[in-house]
Chain A
Amino acid sequence: MAGVAASETVNADEIYWRNQLLAIRHLRPGTPVPQPRGPLARQLFDDLLHLPDQHDPLPWLQREREPAIALLMLSLIVDFAAQLQAGAQQLRSLPVETATPSAHEQSASYLASVAGLFGQLLTSPAPQGVSTPWGERITETAGADQLVAEMSHLQQQSKLQRELSPNRSQSEPGFKQLLADLLRVPDTVDLLRWLQSERSELSARYVLEYLLRQAFPPVNAFDEKPYTRPSLFPKAHSHITGRLSVSVDRIDFYEQGFAIHLHARISSQDAWRTLKRSTAVFPPQWQGFTSISDDLGHSYLTQLARCERSNQLWWWREQLTLHCYPAVGEAHELLLKSQPTALALYRVPRLGDEIISVPGPSLGEMRVRVPLP
């Protein structure tokens, strides 16, 4: 894949997911990898694992697996709608004896605020009973018609006026906005084709993340597990252009993997402003090394388990814990890389509880070698 030069703007989340896919392909042979739930999800995951490293998975998914990602995306959206309906039903049925007047007010205000997005969808009855989510039962050859029929039923429940070019999820690319758009697609338009032609990039991003997330061991997999060897205190440092300085403080080793504890310092005006009491909800973040490998050529999955951020004068101080999978085995050295080192920026859509990743500054490459005893 093409390298990214310092000073360009990049999406840190996309870099992270691309690197995790590369890591899954190069795990130590025999390492168990949890499989995504559902036949279509497993098929797509398998396709991605067999894709050559030089192919960027996002354009490839859009180009080569467009119908499949549209189908999986629609499944996830229909599941999301059912979940929202169930949540709204619970809110409406808050027991009078325990709910305070403000609870009813808040509940009414929430339903009113989402009515602009979903019409009468959330005041309609939720599906009865528990069924396997669409995302876990859809296949490439069966179920598409029923899924589209389910989405059409949601459209009818919403009683929304249809629009020729619904565009809420273009400016605010979140799940809620995508559902809001799908509710407004005219009857004459094929919903799956609309997803393919109008939201292919967004669908590819969501689907890639959905598939890879399931390949990770749970983030709390290491909690309270015994150490398998003494912790290491590498005291390794690295920095880039005076903007980011990183120290690897400690590595703990477990049966299933290892945890890297780091601290970082990011120079930013936000920190000083926050110190003076203006709020910075999502200042630039560094989320740790995105690529971890060893001297034997094996890679490790990495996920951010914890990040504490605090402002100190004109910089942000971060304390991070990365969980890496699997255990180091026979390796003698770890190589921690950020290639490129991207600062992550997020925003929250006006009506949403979802973090939207937006491009942030790329600072160049960073590598740290950690010899293992």
Chain B
Amino acid sequence: MLYKYALRTQGIAVVFFLLSVLIVSVAFFGTTRTAHAAASSAPGNPMVATITVGMNIDCSSVPNTAQAQSILQQKHLCQYATSSRSGPSPDIVRGRVCGDCGCLILNLFNARGGYLQWNGEITSTQGPIVNASYAGSWTNNNLSTVGPVARSSGLIFTSDWLDIATFYTRAGTIYGRIDTARDTLWWGGTCTNADSVYNYANVT
């Protein structure tokens, strides 16, 4: 009994210890980040790393106005992109794109019964991610139906965020793509995807 109590107390103590380390680290790095931001303009001493790995238009946040749609159409963007206008994109699979921040990964699986399992994943090689989001779409090539996909995490603290969703696409060859992805690192840096990823699955 005493042993159990001791174990529990020890457990609680460990939890409190870890919690305080976490709080202190976040507070500490939060403060220094502000200081670094101020110091970053000093020549020869770039304290803040800016990681840029390409930008794409965020199709999920385009205003639903005639003008915006017309511009997208003229510029062949989002749903008017040449590659996704008629079924599969020119390349059939590019399930993983990595940059100096980490990787953006898309895996699609047959969940059967007309359902597609969508696994979108963002990993980080620059320390923990505090939040992440992405936008894209799926297309049923046999039925020419499409569905938008826009997802975001809450507050996380992880090096690997896997977002699993099930979509009712009906049976067919389903192509999925992520056009834009973004994550915020624990120290405030932002990463965006270097390129889009796409994949497919034969849903039964």
Contact = CB atoms under 8 A, between A and B. Distances in A.
A319 interface: yes
Size category of the A interface is 35 or more
B83 A98 contact: yes
A354 B166 CA distance: 13
Contacts of B184: none
A213 B166 CA distance: 12
Interface string A290-314: 0000000000000111111111100
A178 B57 CA distance: 42
A214 B113 contact: yes
Contact of A209 (B89, B90, B112, B159): B112
Q: Which of B112, B113, B159, B204: most chain A CB closer than 10 A?
A: B204
A265 interface: no
Contacts of A277: 125, 159
Interface stretch (B41-49, B58-66, B168-176): B168-176
Contacts of B88: 90-91, 94
A353 B165 CA distance: 16
A214 B47 CA distance: 56
Contact of B173 (A90, A281, A310, A312): A90
Contacts of B167: 219-220
Contact of B161 (A305, A306, A308): A308
Given A209-B113, A354-B109, A79 B204 contact: yes
Main secondary structure of the interface of A (DSSP, over half): mixed
A5 interface: no
Contacts of A106: 91-93
A98 B158 CA distance: 39
Contacts of B159: 274-275, 277, 311
A359 interface: no
B114 A213 contact: yes
Interface stretch (B31-39, B149-157, B189-197): B149-157
Interface of A: 76, 79-80, 83-84, 86-87, 90-91, 94, 98-100, 102-103, 106-107, 110, 133, 175-176, 206, 209-210, 213-214, 218-220, 274-275, 277, 281, 303-312, 317, 319, 348, 353-355
17 contacts: A80-B171, A84-B202, A90-B173, A94-B88, A103-B89, A175-B110, A175-B112, A209-B112, A219-B168, A220-B167, A220-B168, A274-B160, A275-B159, A308-B161, A310-B162, A353-B109, A355-B109
